[in-house]
């Protein structure tokens, strides 16, 4: 995810980026690559962006205690990992938590943002600029809401890709080749999403305008969600992801 964001940042944000990754071999375009924190010497930075797994933070972050300038801040994309835990691992700095999603890689991401009380306008504006370079950004006023953003938007592309995959599989079952099924399904998803966004109309109204009385869509929709099972499934999907985010705090 960090790499995906970086591809957009180096194109759109005027800043110098240094990546610290012990395992990465190829230098990312537009950024400097170092292997370990000791390679920084006494260099200091405005922002430390934490893009490692939440489970690694307590172990890795303390070694970064000297890399931030006194007015610097931590920004973390780690799912769940709370401001409190980040501040415990690296005390003394404001924290902005970011929950991005994968379409950031093509500048079409949606990110949730939450700032600790001691974060200043410069810190918040800086992180907002980064995330707007990768799509859109929405601030939330309570930290718990960021874990809810994770369940809806952070993990969301995973649900959408899985729905698309299953829809393509169903089209193939109806007799289309893999390529035809992909074109039909992805074209239908894309056109329908564009229509919601461009008209501003409610998905429910648009659904009704496709559905002729006693027609084919009605038959399909009855099988899809006639008993509300799809609605229930999506509620349990987001609830399960939120529960996991809470466990990662
Ligand atoms: N994937 C997604 O869609 C989203 C992910 N996130 C968050 O992003 C974070 C990364 O997740 P994701 O990108 O999926 O996972 P990855 O495993 O792909 O990324 C983790 C990165 O951390 C690097 N790394 C491992 N050890 C160290 C270390 N000691 N010091 C510095 N870097 C290290 C890894 O290097 P290497 O690959 O070389 O081992 C890798 O580049 C997580 O906290 C996750 O919650 C948030 C929103 C969406
Ligand atoms: O699956 C995860 O934990 C990360 C956070 C949101 C998307 N991917």
User: Which residue is closest in CA terms to ligand 2's atom 1?
Assistant: 155
Cα 50 to averaged position of ligand 1 atoms, centre (Å): 9
Cα 213 to averaged position of ligand 2 atoms, centre (Å): 41
Q: Alpha carbon of 35 to those of 15, 18, 55, 190: distances in Å?
A: 20, 10, 20, 41
Mean pLDDT along residues 96-117: 97
Distance (Å, rounded) from C-alpha 160 to C-alpha 182?
14
Atom of ligand 2 nearest to the CA of 79: 5
Residue 24 pLDDT grade (very low, low, confident, very high; cuts 50, 70, 90)? very high
pLDDT at 122: 96
The 10 Å Cβ neighbour count of residue 190 is 10
Cα 106 to averaged position of ligand 1 atoms, centre (Å): 18
Atom of ligand 2 nearest to the CA of 1: 8
Give the H or E element holding residue 149.
helix 143-149
Cα 104 to averaged position of ligand 2 atoms, centre (Å): 14
Whole-number average pLDDT of the chain: 97
**Burial track 142-181 (b if 16+ CB lie within 10 A, e otherwise):** ebeebbbbbbbbbbbbebeeeeeeebbeebeeeebeeeeb
pLDDT at 120: 96
pLDDT at 155: 98
pLDDT at 40: 94
Find where tokens 């924190």 sit.
37
The pocket around ligand 1, CB under 6 angstroms, is made up of 1-2, 20-24, 51-54, 60, 77-79, 99-102, 154
Distance (Å, rounded) from C-alpha 164 to C-alpha 182?
9
CATH 3.40.190.10 fits 156-247, yes or no: no
Beta bridge partners of 73: 47
Annotated binding site for NADP(+): 51-54
Please, where in the chain does CATH 3.40.50.720 lie?
2-153
pLDDT at 80: 95
**CATH superfamily entry for domain 2-153:** NAD(P)-binding Rossmann-like Domain (3.40.50.720)
Atom of ligand 1 nearest to the CA of 54: 43
Beta bridge partners of 153: none
**What does the pLDDT look like over 25-44, one tens digit per residue?**
999 999 999 999 999 999 99
pLDDT at 227: 98
Cα 175 to averaged position of ligand 2 atoms, centre (Å): 35
> Cα 241 to chain center, whole Å?
13
pLDDT at 181: 98
Distance (Å, rounded) from C-alpha 173 to C-alpha 182?
13
**What does the pLDDT look like over 64-88, one tens digit per residue?**
999 999 999 999 999 999 999 999 9
Mean pLDDT along residues 11-16: 95
| Closest to 17 in 3D by CA, of 55, 51, 62 | 51
Which ligand number lies closest to the CA of residue 20?
1
Beta bridge partners of 74: 48, 95
Please, where in the chain does CATH 1.10.3730.10 lie?
156-247
Four-point Cα dihedral 18, 19, 20, 22, nearest 10: -140
| Closest to 33 in 3D by CA, of 51, 17, 9, 44 | 17
**What does the pLDDT look like over 121-163, one tens digit per residue?**
999 999 999 999 999 999 999 999 999 999 999 999 999 999 9
Atom of ligand 2 nearest to the CA of 248: 3
């Amino acid at each position: 995810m960090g790499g995906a964001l970086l591809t957009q940042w180096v194109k759109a944000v005027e800043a110098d980026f240094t990546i610290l990754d012990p395992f990465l071999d190829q230098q990312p375009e537009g950024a400097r690559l170092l292997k370990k924190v000791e390679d920084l010497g006494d260099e200091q930075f405005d922002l430390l962006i934490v893009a490692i797994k939440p489970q690694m933070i307590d172990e890795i972050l303390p070694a970064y205690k000297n890399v931030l300038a006194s007015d610097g801040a931590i920004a973390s994309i780690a799912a769940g990992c709370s401001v409190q835990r980040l501040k415990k691992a690296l005390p003394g700095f404001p924290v902005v938590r970011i929950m991005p999603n994968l379409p950031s890689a093509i500048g079409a991401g949606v990110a949730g943002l939450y700032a600790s009380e001691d974060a200043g306008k410069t810190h918040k504006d800086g992180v907002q600029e980064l995330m707007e370079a990768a799509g859109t950004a929405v601030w939330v006023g309570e930290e718990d809401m960021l874990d809810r953003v994770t369940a809806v938007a952070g993990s969301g592309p995973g649900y959408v890709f899985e729905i698309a995959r299953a829809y393509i599989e169903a089209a193939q079952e109806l007799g289309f080749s893999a390529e035809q099924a992909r074109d039909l399904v992805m074209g239908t998803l894309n056109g329908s999403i564009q229509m919601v966004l461009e008209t501003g109309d409610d998905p429910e109204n648009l659904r009704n305008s496709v559905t002729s009385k006693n027609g084919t869509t009605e038959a399909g929709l009855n099988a899809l969600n006639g008993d509300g099972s799809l609605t229930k499934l999506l509620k349990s999907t987001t609830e399960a992801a939120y529960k996991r985010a809470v466990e990662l705090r």
